[in-house]
Structure 1
Amino acid sequence: MLHDFGGIVRRTPGTVIRPSCAREVAEAVREAAASGTPLVARGCGHSTGGQSQTGGVSLDLRGLATVHAVQADRVVVDAGATWREVLDATLPHGRTPPVLTDYLDLTVGGTLSAGGIGGTSHVHGTQAANVLELDVVTRTGEAVTCSPGDRRDVFDAVRAAMGRNGVITRAALRLVPAPERVLSFTVPLAGAAGLLRAQRTVRADHVSGLAEPGGRCELRAVVHDGDRPPPGLPPDETGTGMEVEELSFLDFADRMRPDVQELIALGEWARPHPWATVLLPAARAVDVIDATLAEMGPDDIGLSGLVRIQALAPGPVPVPLLRAPADPVLFGLLRAASPGCRPVEEMLASNRVLHDRARAAGGVLYMSS
């Protein structure tokens, strides 16, 4: 029986296939299509609603994990490679993908199939908006190379599609110069309105935000290879003090590793994670966020849970299936069903309230949750 990071849905696949090349992926897809058997591609299984599970054929893409040639402007990688493995290959060349997920142990194919959002998405958009070319096996088992200028129909059909329209087997990812170090500023703010205003006005290379039940927020603004605060950094609105930290770029990119190791040791990483993430139009985002946080207490989010708020930009290549509203804001309830907190069923019921509230405001569900 397989489970995913969400720990809520559990299914036993009829067959598990771990292909070592795109040809084997195509064969598996054709055989499943011929027999009418559901087939689901799986990377590290970090979905939270059972999206990486099936009772049919589970296609384990971690067998396709090679990072190929690194050039100045791009790197070619297999879909089962993690972003950690990509970064390990590109940093010796002084290059990095423009958008990295906060947690690096996710596969390239998995996040491109969801969208892929990080702290630089206010400048560069999603990871799916920074792809130069893809190798894809379509639902009929056809192997296709596609890009913005060649087979654009397939290119647009697989990015942010959660695997519904084909299996990504290889990707050419855009690269940009990597900084050597970062200067990180964490500023407490009184509420979501101030946080979103700061995210829109601060001139930083990385911008992200966290919130707490009740409304207190925190802005993180990071400058690359800088020695002073970024322009537009807001003052501390709570009187609790701004934090400043200098790190190597790699340590910053991998900043979640110590926390994850601690959560694994405490058993929190293995708890159910009933996450809910929505993309809201900026004009309505504060209303939705404030109403949701006002209804929450610490037991609604869990001991290791987070509330994430992130302003986004479109990115260089449109991603039609992401269906994000104009001027989008990500709002994520990254819940953990910790002991002593609300049970999973109640957290899921609260998630449905958020989904309905977001849709009424013109927002959409971010499909990875």
Structure 2
Amino acid sequence: MTYSEEHRYHRQLGLVDQDAISSMKVSIGGDAQLVMASLAQLTCAGVGTGPKGSISLRIPQEKRLENNRHSWVFAAPDKLEIWNDLIMIIKESHNINLDFSLQTDTTHIEFSRGEDIGEDADLYATIWHGQAVLSKSPLKFDESPKASPSMIDASLEVALAAAAVQRLFAMNGVIKENMLSDTWMALTSRADGLMPDEAVKKYSSIHGGATATLLPDGSGSLLRFRIPLESTPSELLKGIIHSCTIPELLSDDWLMEVGPFPIELNEQGEVICSKLELPEEIDSANLLVLGTGGLGSWATPLFASGVNLENLNISLVDADSSVDIHNLNRQVLYTIREVGIPKAPAAAVRKLALEHGERPVRRRFAGR
């Protein structure tokens, strides 16, 4: 038996209602970079993969991609010119119902950089120089927010998009009330007359060894053999039933700070634009990334986005012997092509492929 596409979302089955997520109807619009960052989060979660679900982009499909710095998440080539090119790649690689439309029965998120806030939305995500906020209503500023680029722009865009998607799930009531961290299948067997340490030495399966516990009456042991994911029918993984939280209702004045720098409001409820001074990039860096999984695979490219690439040295370390398909929905340095390859070398190769330009870059990659 081979992995099915449903194994892709295996690790989040105990955290969210995956069927409900696949059936969600979501629309996003506004700032192009933030839309792309949120699209990365939505596709990783599996939004719009069901027959009733969809993601609608409120962006002209012939609009040019001026700066596609988040398209690497979709393994897209660097030379994309228009949004429609990217959408075709996403639809083919993620099997998502994705289109350009003005559907009215969607939950809409509007992204902006503090100016030119668009149409009415269910949630507003706003970013400006080093700061980011989610809000139920459009933000008002005491003056035009600073818009100059900074070293944390790409990281802050991803963080804001992730927070927006998490809030979207809360608003739609698809987050499990009591979360399970993981779900695997196990085969259990009773071994009479054997203590646990004897039982695990005596028995094994084609999938490996067993764990054992003493039976309540002390007459023997209960053996457990873990079944690999690829040998588990995906429908069985959804067999545990537990309720979700009730849909979250936000008040009109609700807001949540996402960035590393807090905001201040004046008496009129306007955001006081700070005078933060942030460099556009760091001149040099030596980075050691321990673990290239759910956090490290996002962090590595985002670290690099704020550093002068001519003076960047990255070491990647990960003990996992291979990339698995259930890594792909959240470990974004990997694609289906890397399944079966040790993680650190796979991440290193992908990171090299993501670099732009022809400038020499000093790097050291380590994997074990």
TM-score by length of 2: 0.25
Larger Rg: 2
**Structure with the higher strand share, 1 or 2:** 1
